[in-house]
Structure 1
Amino acid sequence: MGSKWRALTWALAAACIAGAVIALADIQTPLRPLLISLFLLVVPGAAVVGLLRDRDPLAALSVGAAASLVLNVLLAQAMLLFDAWSPRAGVATVAVLAGFMYVLRVLYRGKSMQSEQGAGPR
């Protein structure tokens, strides 16, 4: 069952990357609304869930979904407030913020792994 989840994860990641590329390159395709929406809903939530790695899976998914919606709504509100509406800029901002959260996750894991290695018996 692990290989099925891994294949689903890779397919979802490929669809999200395709959505970002379609939005940034302004490619017109019938799948554009679906792929861009998938990117905007999945990527921030996945980044937040990655930060909550030692939590209950259902709670982490709930927080990730809520964080994804909050991030997108706040970004849209800020773009409207400053009269700077741009779908390309929105997708780029979501990608940068999710990348920043991924870097935090990697740094946090590295720190916890170093502390686990140093905590062994001497």
Structure 2
Amino acid sequence: MQTIGLKSSRRDLRPLLAGAAATAACVGALFALLDLSSPVRGPLTLFFLVAAPAAAVAHWLRGLDLWGRALASVSAAIVVDLLVAQAMLALHVWSVRGGVAAVAGISSAIFLSALARR
């Protein structure tokens, strides 16, 4: 009689973790855009502001190894966030909703340009 063993590896958990991260980022963006009050609004919105541009830039960096791509993507996400904040402050149009919407729009444009390149 043969027993069925469950083999768990890191590769099996990657889609699950990616889905959980995408869900958390979307919930953070919705909390900020709909102005809902919650104790997790701040951390989830901050996670969205870093994860959305990082995921979009990661598609441009397919040739790098995992750690190099992660470091470059997070660095680019911080640059995008700072540029959006600087532009909004310079134009005197700062708002949380506007910042989240601007970062979402820029991230979408970066991601779609990476898809169009392929």
TM-score normalised by structure 1 residue count: 0.85
- Structure 2: runs of 5 or more not aligned: 1-8
Equivalent residue number for residue 116 of structure 2: 107
Equivalent residue number for residue 88 of structure 2: 79
TM-score normalised by structure 2 residue count: 0.87
Distance 1:102 1:78 in 2: 21
Which runs of 4 or more aligned residues in structure 1 lie more than 3 Å from their structure 2 counterparts after TM superposition?
Answer: none
**Identical pairs, percent:** 35
Distance 1:94 1:80 in 2: 14
Equivalent residue number for residue 65 of structure 1: 74
Using the TM superposition, give the Cα deviation of residue 40 of structure 1 relative to its aligned residue in structure 2, in angstroms.
Answer: 0.3
Note if 1:88 corresponds to 2:97.
Answer: yes
Distance 2:37 2:19 in 1: 24
Distance 1:103 1:6 in 2: 21
Indicate the RMSD between aligned Cα atoms, in angstroms. 1.0
Using the TM superposition, give the Cα deviation of residue 3 of structure 1 relative to its aligned residue in structure 2, in angstroms.
Answer: 2.3
Distance 2:78 2:115 in 1: 23
- Structure 1: runs of 5 or more not aligned: 110-122
Question: Secondary structure at the residue paired with 1:84?
Answer: coil
